[in-house]
């Protein structure tokens, strides 16, 4: 047997072959060896309760036995075909059954691709070029999405600020940026540019920030008034906020949505779903050459990912799944509130019990600029103290999973108490 390679050695090897020493996703100073249930272990064997859960997909926890069985069954039949397969068709049927806006589905491999194609479909359908997005909204890595995602220079609305080098100025000219939860601004913006706007794309729960009462409903009314498509980015919220996603929880139906994470059960799979007349632009026979939106992907509708997603979704449909998930989240939210308040730390608990975190600010957070006013350095120290006590989470999000046990919650509460006391006097 080969000698064990330490985490520090893996980090050194990564620094030679990976820009920044990592995959670009998470802290490269930790290398995960394995995950089981609610927990992960690093290459040195340190154990953590996992609130990152792969950035959302592992809602059932790691290595759920029923999902593994479904994957093994499909692996024996084939890994990928670049052709229609039964599991992918079944998954599309279940998405259409579950998601209010979904008459049809087109599969891709990542949520960012799904968002990109949703915006492209909107342009094809309307014949217009401009897209409205909300400041701080995350929609993948396309040029359009990387406008005012996390700007440190706050421009006047609706000016877009690129978040990356390598994006042509012409892209900025086709993007309009609005503040989330400000319906008066969006109403005025849509009226002023109505004939130019193809779509408004929004995370219905923006990162962590819930919509204010009436905001999504008004957004639906205003887009319909001006013949503008409404796109919900449900890559994170789909099958998490409720089985039918944010559309079910908030009772607002968009024209298109993007889905990812949970529908692949931990494998790379995402989708665009929407109304048949819009999805028709993927079908040249229906819309002709001029209206056709080309989409090809080597692994789109991959049968292994589809099998994992189908089994995951079957388990989520079982009685009490979402009630248990929300109860776990509520327990953690209450602990954060109790211990940070006791430590005298200004904070806001922002989000929904199935997806939330702390913003270290005294004012109520309703948009990106409220998050930006929070004390990010205090948040990093808090997260570091949590990690010392075996809590694995990203900056900015806590993802509860159905694998969490009573012991996990007790350890998490103890870690929160420890971290709050540590930063309380800083």
What is the helix (H) or strand (E) element at residue 189, kind and residue range?
Answer: helix 183-192
Distance CA(302)–CA(228), nearest Å, equals 32
Q: What are phi and psi of 126, to 5 degrees?
A: -95, -20
Distance CA(293)–CA(321), nearest Å, equals 38
DSSP helix/strand/coil, 223? helix
What CA–CA distances, in Å, run from 311 to 43, 154, 212? 30, 44, 34
251: which DSSP letter?
A: T
Distance CA(160)–CA(163), nearest Å, equals 9
Among 191, 207, 149, 142, residue whose Cα is nearest residue 168: 142
Q: What are phi and psi of 409, to 5 degrees?
A: -65, -40
- Catalytic residue (choose from 130, 133, 261, 385): 261
233 is catalytic: yes
Contact 361, 375 (CB under 8 A): yes
DSSP helix/strand/coil, 125? helix
Distance CA(422)–CA(426), nearest Å, equals 8
Distance CA(270)–CA(233), nearest Å, equals 11
3-state secondary structure 300-367: CCCHHHHHHHHHHHHHHCCCCHHHHHHHHHHHHHHHHHHHHHHCCCCCEEEEECCEEEEECCCCCCCC
Among 181, 216, 190, residue whose Cα is nearest residue 132: 190
DSSP helix/strand/coil, 69? helix
What is the helix (H) or strand (E) element at residue 7, kind and residue range?
Answer: helix 7-17
- Catalytic residue (choose from 50, 115, 233, 255): 233
Distance CA(330)–CA(340), nearest Å, equals 15
What CA–CA distances, in Å, run from 298 to 23, 83, 107, 301? 21, 9, 11, 9
- Catalytic residue (choose from 138, 322, 368, 399): 138
Cβ of 269: how many Cβ atoms within 10 Å? 30
Q: Which residues are catalytic?
A: 138, 233, 261
């Amino acid at each position: 047997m080969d000698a064990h390679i330490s985490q520090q050695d893996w980090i050194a090897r990564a620094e030679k072959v990976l820009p920044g020493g990592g995959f670009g996703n998470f802290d490269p100073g930790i290398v995960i060896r394995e995950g089981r249930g609610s927990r992960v272990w690093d290459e040195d064997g340190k154990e953590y309760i996992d609130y990152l859960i792969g950035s959302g997909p592992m809602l059932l926890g790691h290595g759920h036995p029923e999902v593994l069985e479904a994957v093994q069954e499909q692996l024996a039949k084939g890994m990928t075909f670049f052709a229609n397969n039964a599991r992918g068709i079944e998954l599309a049927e279940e998405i259409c059954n579950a998601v209010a806006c979904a008459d049809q589905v087109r599969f891709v491999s990542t949520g960012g691709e799904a968002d990109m194609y949703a915006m492209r479909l909107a342009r094809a359908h309307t014949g217009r070029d401009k897209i409205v997005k909300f400041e701080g909204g995350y929609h993948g890595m396309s040029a359009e999405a990387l406008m005012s995602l996390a700007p440190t220079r706050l421009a006047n609305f609706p000016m877009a600020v690129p978040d990356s080098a390598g994006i042509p100025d012409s892209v900025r000219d086709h993007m309009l940026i609005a503040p989330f939860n400000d319906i008066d601004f969006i109403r005025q913006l849509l009226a002023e540019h109505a004939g130019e706007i193809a779509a408004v794309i929004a995370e219905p729960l923006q990162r962590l920030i819930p919509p204010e009462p009436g905001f999504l409903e008004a957004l639906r009314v205003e887009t319909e008034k001006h013949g503008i498509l409404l796109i919900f980015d449900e890559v994170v919220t789909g099958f998490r906020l409720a089985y039918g996603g944010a559309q079910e929880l908030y009772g607002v139906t968009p024209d298109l949505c993007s889905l990812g994470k949970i529908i692949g059960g931990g494998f790379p799979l995402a989708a665009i779903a929407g109304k048949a007349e819009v999805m028709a632009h993927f079908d040249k026979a229906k819309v002709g050459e001029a209206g056709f939106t080309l989409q090809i992907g080597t692994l789109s509708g991959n049968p292994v990912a589809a099998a994992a997603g189908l089994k995951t979704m079957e388990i989520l449909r079982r009685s009490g799944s979402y009630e248990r998930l929300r109860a776990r989240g509520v327990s953690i939210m209450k602990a954060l509130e109790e211990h940070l308040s006791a430590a005298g730390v200004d904070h806001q608990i922002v989000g929904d019990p199935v997806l939330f975190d702390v913003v270290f600010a005294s004012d109520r957070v309703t948009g990106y600029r409220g998050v930006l006013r929070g004390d990010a350095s205090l948040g990093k120290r808090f997260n570091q103290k949590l990690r010392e006590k075996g809590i694995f989470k990203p900056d900015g999000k806590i993802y509860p999973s159905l694998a969490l046990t009573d012991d996990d919650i007790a350890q998490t509460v103890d870690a929160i108490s420890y971290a709050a006391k540590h930063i309380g006097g800083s």
